[in-house]
Structure 1
Amino acid sequence: MERKKRNLILTFVISFASVIFGLPLLYTLGVPSGDVVLTALFGKGNIWALVFSVMLILLVTFGVGKVIKSST
């Protein structure tokens, strides 16, 4: 049980660090932010941008959960 807990904490720390260091790097390289992309795809104030964002968040959440469940 201890090894599983340590692996989950390590995964969280690595993921957090990659976001903290990765997002500024992407911004420096000129990659547009999420709201700019959604506005370009769907237009300003479109409800489908919100639906698309929620679906994307759910997809990532369930995908990560499935990977964690399969590794334990």
Structure 2
Amino acid sequence: MIKGKKFLLFVMCLFTPILILPLLYTMGVPSFADVLTALFGEGSILATVFSLLLLLLIVFGVGKIMKRNA
């Protein structure tokens, strides 16, 4: 990947949450924490396990895609 393209991707990844999350909040979309509390209840260990599994799935998926494109 070209160095300039990597930098552009990095900048886009930084600014996307800054621009998108307030828009979603304004539209009334609940946050991930609200969804986890509604699904599993307050202080549930299952919510933590679910979050970690989801995070691992995303990280390995992105890593697999990057290896395929490299």
User: Please, what TM-score do these two structures have when normalized by structure 2?
Assistant: 0.85
Residue matched to 2:51: 53
Q: Which one-letter code corresponds to 1:24 in the other structure?
A: P
Paired residue total: 70
Matched, 1:42 2:43: no
Moved over 6 A (4+): none
From 3, 28, 31, the equivalent of 1:30 is: 28
Gap regions ≥5 residues in structure 2 = none
Distance 1:17 1:8, change over 3 A: same
CA-atom RMSD in angstroms: 1.5
Cα displacement string for residues 28-58 of structure 1 (whole angstroms, at most 9, x for unaligned residues): 1111111110010011111100000011111
Residues 69, 9 of structure 1: alpha-carbon distance in 2 compared, 3 angstrom cutoff = farther
Unaligned runs of 5+ in 1: none
Percent identity reads 54
- Give the structure-1-normalised TM-score: 0.83
Distance, in Å, in 2 between the alignment partners of 1:50 and 1:10 is 33
Q: CA deviation at 1:14?
A: 1.4
